[in-house]
Amino acid sequence: MRRALAVSAAVPLLFSAAACGSDDGANSGATSSATSSAAPADGAKVSVAGNVGAKPTVTFPSGSPATTSSYKVIQPGAGDGIKAGDRVIVNLTVYNWDGQGNAVQGSSYDTKAPETIPVNEQLPKVLQEGFTKVKKGGRLLAVLANDAAPQQQAAPAQPTKVFVFDVVGTQPPALKVADGKETGDSIKGVKVGIPGGEKAPELTTKTDAKPPAKLEVKTVIKGTGEKVKANQTLTVHYTGKIWGTDKKFDSSWDRGQPAEFPLGQVIQGWQQGLVGVPVGSRVVMSIPPDLGYGDQEQQGIPAKSTLVFVVDVLGAY
């Protein structure tokens, strides 16, 4: 998906390190105590106190921060386990371990908004492994040093980060295709063909009809899932064309995999058009320029274009 339209759903912004992390010094010993410590390779100790389900208290040792990434299971948990490919829902608290103030950078216990993190190769390896060692109700401590950053990136060194993750559960997998009752609805001048199965719908926007002046959203297939909320991250398949020309400028179906993005980081037409849509639905949207790219020309999209999208809402979390 074009970044001007949406961004890929990623681990929280606080994860500046990604992908090719080192798991040197990883420590997976579990303890049933509410207070435990992690032992990075340099021998420093970070202590974590408090009960799972509440914001933890983290105490740092004196001296320099750890330079090697590691993890420690503080509470193993007793619910369902986590495996590679799962989307783990966590409450997290993160600190900058700089050897001075060691300031807290944020906590989902403060925002009351748990994060959902895909356990995949985009995570540092220390987290890929660590998450598979805890279950629902568990607590994981992770130290992410600069060895967790992709080796090919010549980015400035960042402070070592310390994360405490409390596992809330895992997100159900996204659908493969819209699944619900066909309504027969569409937007005047726009056609949406339904080939069936997991094939992309056939969107036709070649028309002499005048485009709607306001946002127009029609449900082609009505799903039965939970309704999309404004603060969620979505998994969708979509195709985008320009009104009147039938010119396609983007399609996740053409790329062979759904797009994932926080709904709050896309154009206003998507934000307004998809809130309240049940998961499993297929919708067609006509987005006027003021809710799209306005007077700005984008790659392949002339200024003041009315955009038309057909969207399968496959997941929301």
For the stretch 177-198, pLDDT in tens is: 999 999 999 999 999 999 989 9
- For residue 4 the two structure tokens come to 């001007």
Evaluate if residue 146 carries a pLDDT over 90: no
Nearest to 70 by CA among 36, 29, 40: 40
Residue 168, Ramachandran bin (φ over 0: left; ψ between -120 and 50: alpha; else beta): alpha
Evaluate if residue 70 carries a pLDDT over 60: yes
- What pLDDT score was predicted for residue 161? 93
Q: Residue 153's pLDDT band (boundaries 50, 70, 90)? A: low
How far is it, in rounded angstroms, from Cα 177 to Cα 200?
9
DSSP state, residue 12: -
* Cβ contacts of 150 within 8 Å, gap of 6 or more: 17, 18, 19, 20
Q: Give the residue with greater pLDDT, 314 vs 157.
A: 314
Q: What is the pTM of this model?
A: 0.66
Tell me the pLDDT tens digit for each residue of 241-297: 999 999 999 999 999 999 988 898 899 999 999 999 999 999 999 999 999 999 999
Q: Domains in the chain, start-ordered, CATH in brackets?
A: 36-171 (3.10.50.40), 180-316 (3.10.50.40)
Kindly state the average pLDDT of the residues 109-132.
91
Q: Provide the H-helix boundaries in 139-205.
A: none
Tell me the pLDDT tens digit for each residue of 22-65: 333 334 333 333 444 454 444 348 999 999 999 999 999 988 89
Evaluate if residue 20 carries a pLDDT over 80: no
Q: Residue 317's pLDDT band (boundaries 50, 70, 90)? A: confident
- What pLDDT score was predicted for residue 233? 85
